[in-house]
Structure 1
Amino acid sequence: MTTSTITVEELIRRHADDLAYVAEAAPAGDLDAFLDQLGTAAGRFDEAGITGHEDLETAAVLLAEARDNTEETSRHTLLHRAGELLTPVWEMTQEYRDMVGG
């Protein structure tokens, strides 16, 4: 069984709009901005009592590790795990929108 290769760019494309909404910023265009917004969103989800904010913090750590990792298999593993942890971002953002009336 093979798994598809995930990239930082793909993760940013999938989640930038939702995280930007929560962070009240323009969608991230690079990893540094994405990590910043991920941290902001995790904090706001925490303040709102939205379950899963810890996973976003973990995903940010994994993405930073992947950025600094030169070994392809390790990098792929880190990105794959970060992608799994980011899966509920859309639902979390919808819950946040409902709470703040957006």
Structure 2
Amino acid sequence: MPSTEITDDTFIRRYADDIAYVAQQPPATDLATLAAQLDTVAPRYEAAGITGHEDLETASLHLDEALRATGTDRDAFLRRAHNLLRPLVADMTQEYRLAAGD
């Protein structure tokens, strides 16, 4: 079964709004900004007692590598970051919203 291609645009579309909410910044429009925002939000999730922040830090590292890579290497780093973020970001952000009273 072929996997869904993860492009910069699909990656940003899936995660930018949730990450931006916690970062208290406008949604990222590129991977470099999204990676920087992940570095900002990971300690905020940790401070709120929300587990999974380590995976966000690792995903940020994968995005940094993707920015420097090309071809299939770039795709592999994007996929690794996506696989870490997909099961976490929406739930973590929902938990953060509830803790913040939103």
Q: TM-score, normalised by structure 2?
A: 0.92
Q: Which runs of 5+ in 1 are unaligned?
A: none
Among all aligned residue pairs of Structure 1 and Structure 2, give the percentage whose two residues are the same amino acid. 52
Give 1:4 shift. Answer: 2.0
Contact 2:66-2:74 within 8 A present in 1 as well: yes
Contact 2:32-2:63 within 8 A present in 1 as well: no
Task: After the TM superposition, list the runs of 4 or more consecutive aligned residues in structure 1 that deviate by more than 3 angstroms.
Answer: none
Give 1:32 shift. Answer: 2.0
| 1:60 aligned onto 2:79 | no
CA RMSD of aligned residues (A): 1.0
Q: TM-score, normalised by structure 1?
A: 0.92
Give 1:12 shift. Answer: 0.9
| 1:9 aligned onto 2:1 | no
- Aligned length, in residue pairs: 101
Question: Equivalents in 2 of 1:54, 1:78: separation in Å?
Answer: 17
Q: Which runs of 5+ in 2 are unaligned?
A: none
Give 1:78 shift. Answer: 1.1
